[in-house]
Every structure is written in structure tokens, then in C-alpha cells.
Amino acid sequence: MIQDSQRALTSNPDDAAARYNLAIAYRIGGMDDLALEELTRVAELQPDFPDVYYELGALHAKYGRCDDAIAALKRACELNPDDHRAGKLLARLEST
């Protein structure tokens, strides 16, 4: 999956979907720093993509960066109020 996404990016480096797929592949592969970089780039390229903010929030939460996690999760909920994953994680972080 990583190689496929990287190949797609060689022809179009601003392909937000390919970057998102690459970020998810990195996350699954345990390469969280690379995933965070790609997710941040996706948010710049496509700021109305709610899933990217959930993923950013989850990664920030994993590493104890609560303020960053809360900000990302709030954005995810603004863009998609029906995202129960983001809402639950946000509520958990705000209650601590």
C-alpha cells in the first residue's frame, strides 16, 4: 500500500487522497511520525476532509498532545457532526 501511494504521488504530489492513503499505511505500519507528516499535508491540501482531522487527533492523543488532539477532533466534528469516533474521543479528552 505504501509503494502504491508513493507511486501515485510521483505523478501528482498534491493528490490529497493518495497522501491520505499513504498516511494510513504509515500509521498501520507503525510509522507514526511519517503518518503525522502526511496527515498534516493532507489537511493543508484539503482542509474540508474530516477523516484527516480524526486521524490527526487520534495520533496526537496517542502521544499525549491533548491540546493538538482536541483542536483536530473539534475540526473533525465541525466538518462531520455524525463522526461518532471523533465525538467520543473528543469527549474523553475534554473530560481529563
Task: List the chain domain ranges.
Answer: 1-46, 48-96
Tens digits of per-residue pLDDT, 33-70?
999 999 999 999 999 999 999 999 999 999 999 999 99
Q: Count the alpha carbons within 13 Å of 38 in the hemisphere toward its beta carbon.
A: 25
The helix, strand and coil proportions of the chain, stated in percent and rounded to the nearest 5, come to 80, 0, 20
Contacting residues for 64 by C-beta, under 8 A, at least 6 apart: none
CATH assignment of 1-46, among 1.25.40.10, 3.90.1170.30, 2.40.110.10, 3.90.226.10: 1.25.40.10
Tens digits of per-residue pLDDT, 15-33?
999 999 999 999 999 999 9
Contacting residues for 82 by C-beta, under 8 A, at least 6 apart: none
